[in-house]
Amino acid sequence: MAAAALINVLLCAGGLFTILSTIGLVLYLVKFKHMIDITNNLPSPPYLPIVGHGHHFAGKPPHENMYTIYEFASKYGPTFKVWLGTELNIWTSDLKDVEVILGTTRFNDKAHEYDMLEPWLKEGLLTSRGRKWNSRRKVLTPAFHFKILESFIDVFEKESRTLVANLDKEYRMQTDKGFDLNDWVNLCTLDTICETAMGVSVNAQTNADSEYVRAVKTIAMVLHKRMFDILCRFELTYRFTRLAREEKKALAVLHGFTEKVIVQRREELLKVQEAGKLDAADKDTGSKRKMAFLDILLQSQVDGKPLTNMDIREEVDTFMFEGHDTTSSAVTFCFYNLANYPECQQKCFEEIVQVLGKDKSKPVTFEDLNNLHYLDLCIKETLRMFPSVPLLGRKVTEECEINGKIIPAGTNIGISPLQLGRLEELFPDPDTFKPERFEAGYSTEHLNPYAYIPFSAGPRNCIGQKFAVLEIKTILSNVLRHYSVEYVGPGEEEIHLIAELILRTKDPLMFKIKPRVYY
């Protein structure tokens, strides 16, 4: 009797499994058959049931994933599809498609990868969508008025001077192997963004082991691993990992710090307003007093209502993320190019001396930075070759047509500024550093505006790009007027780029420095 009962139970369980499997298969076909059918005309590599193209990436180190995509592009054309499990991705380097995707508000929603930023940034400008994104963009645009940017130069100057002091210590200890310059640059940009965003300094350059700095490094590590670890890409499995626990602890530090500063600044502002010391002109532009990004948000309104502390934290944290690693990546790759092209580095130095003079203690000014034209060309050329944000992702929310191609709802669209910047047909001799290609009247004058997009393009372009360029110029000019920079390694063939949210190298770029001699 017991055996018969067990058999019945097993048969029932088997029948239930069969029913559930059948239901699952039907749902799969209903949901994905349409997507498969309408994208049949899009080229793609061979794929397998369920896993899609996942086997093309399985087992490969992170730095090879990008090259796999580029191999697909060379074989299957500028626009092709990639299935990762049940997730449909379309990659394009067709400028007509890029213009449609980035140039309108139809594709304003960010791709799945940006969901990994949600625990930290919530619904800040980078990740928000629809009406919220539109209203926030309008509120934040005045924060990057040139008068406010000009007031930030003092912070750029101060923190870059601290960087120079640290490099002086590094010079005295350096060996033939060189040192990782990005470590110091990264701390400099962290100090800079904290002070300009919140009006407080975390002193990262003098206390790199502080709780806040460790938390920032932890979040950077988490984002890196979540991009490539299959268990960490999906929230269902990620939440049970050690990495998720580390992220939770780091976020408690980051959010707690930001919230504390917001509360303090709000109380200070109320006291000033009550004392009648803040006039209308200050409220409108912030031009009469130095204001951090936070101060501007505290005085902003959406639909006639002030921003809540959570609203402000979202935008301050977003500013922190977008203005930290992105800038340090750009600065480090600038030094890499200038070190490998010493004639370009010499031209930068001569221009710096011409604009700033031989007195190395003279602080840079807003006007000085705007007069460093050749340095500006070097930055543009570096961002062509090594854009800080190598991949842009959009999510298709409704089935649509793009230049004759039907794109189903739920599709991720990938665009690579890194790939576009290395296309021979757009930039002849693309792997060679040629700052002159960005001179007025040169070949890029007639270039499609969507070919060079290190700061994205269209409605969702980078709101802080002028801020970033001014900071990069300040760091480069202050370091180059004190030191010549020499690249040590790894060799060009050994450099492996990792295209995640921020462009990185698999191994650190190593440099040596030598004090400048003025004659």
Q: Assess whether 160 and 78 both reside in one domain.
A: no
**Among 23-27, 374-378, 492-496, 502-506, where is mean pLDDT lowest?**
23-27
CB 312 within 8 A of CB 298: yes
Mean pLDDT of the chain: 89
1 within domain boundaries: no
For residue 163 the two structure tokens come to: 């960087």
Range of the domain at 406: 94-413+423-515
Side-chain half-sphere CA neighbours of 246 within 13 A: 17
pLDDT in tens, 86-140: 889 999 999 999 999 999 989 999 988 888 899 999 999 999 988 899 999 998 9
9 within domain boundaries: no
457 within domain boundaries: yes
Q: Assess whether 432 and 503 both reside in one domain.
A: yes
Q: What is the pLDDT of residue 492?
A: 84
Q: What is the pLDDT of residue 50?
A: 76
pLDDT in tens, 26-78: 656 666 788 888 999 999 998 887 788 888 888 788 778 888 999 999 999 99
CB atoms within 10 A of CB 357: 11
b/e per residue, 98-125, with b = 16+ CB within 10 A? bbbbbeeeebbbbbebbebbebbbbbbb
pLDDT in tens, 183-229: 999 999 999 999 999 999 899 999 988 999 999 999 988 988 887 77
Q: What is the pLDDT of residue 285?
A: 41
64 within domain boundaries: no
pLDDT in tens, 444-460: 556 889 999 999 999 99
Please enumerate, by residue number, every residue annotated as part of a binding site: 462
Instruction: Band the pLDDT of 24: cuts 50, 70, 90.
Output: low
CA distance 292 to 313: 13
Q: Assess whether 172 and 304 both reside in one domain.
A: yes
Q: Assess whether 234 and 190 both reside in one domain.
A: yes
Number of H helices, E strands in the chain: 21, 13
Q: Assess whether 341 and 466 both reside in one domain.
A: yes
Q: Of 275 and 360, which is predicted with more confidence?
A: 360
CA distance 451 to 95: 7
CB 498 within 8 A of CB 227: no
63 within domain boundaries: no
pLDDT in tens, 238-284: 889 999 999 999 999 999 999 999 999 999 888 877 776 545 445 44
Average pLDDT over every residue of 397-413: 94
Q: What is the pLDDT of residue 519?
A: 78
* Amino acid at position 422, single letter: R
CB atoms within 10 A of CB 258: 21
Alpha-carbon separation of residue 454 from 27, 127, 217, 314, 503 (angstroms): 41, 18, 24, 24, 11
Q: Report H helices in 275-372.
A: 280-285, 293-298, 309-322, 325-340, 342-356, 366-370
Q: Does residue 379 have a pLDDT over 80?
A: yes
Pick the closest to residue 142 from 319, 320, 287 (CA basis). Answer: 287
CA distance 218 to 443: 43
2 within domain boundaries: no
Q: Report H helices in 47-94.
A: 54-57, 62-76
Query: ∠294-297-298 over CA atoms, to 5°?
Result: 85
Please enumerate, by residue number, every residue annotated as part of a binding site for heme: 462
Q: What is the pLDDT of residue 2?
A: 54
Any idea what the CATH number is for the domain that residue 503 is in?
Answer: 1.10.630.10
Angle between helices 342-356 and 373-385 (to 10 degrees): 140
Q: Does residue 344 have a pLDDT over 50?
A: yes
Pick the closest to residue 229 from 423, 449, 60, 358 (CA basis). Answer: 60
Q: Assess whether 121 and 78 both reside in one domain.
A: no
Angle between helices 181-198 and 325-340 (to 10 degrees): 140
* Amino acid at position 318, single letter: T
Q: Assess whether 75 and 117 both reside in one domain.
A: no
Q: Assess whether 307 and 360 both reside in one domain.
A: yes
**Tally of residues, the chain:** 519
* Amino acid at position 254, single letter: L
Q: Assess whether 114 and 206 both reside in one domain.
A: yes
Pick the closest to residue 76 from 93, 101, 58, 100 (CA basis). Answer: 93
Q: Assess whether 76 and 209 both reside in one domain.
A: no
421: exposed, middle or buried (C-beta count within 10 Å: 0-12, 13-18, 19+)? Answer: buried
pTM of the model: 0.90
Q: For the chain, what is the domain count?
A: 2
Q: Of 91 and 3, which is predicted with more confidence?
A: 91
7 within domain boundaries: no
375 within domain boundaries: yes
Q: Assess whether 120 and 148 both reside in one domain.
A: yes
CA distance 400 to 407: 5
Q: Assess whether 84 and 161 both reside in one domain.
A: no
Average pLDDT over every residue of 455-476: 96
Phi-psi region of 400 (alpha: psi -120 to 50; beta: other; left: phi over 0): beta
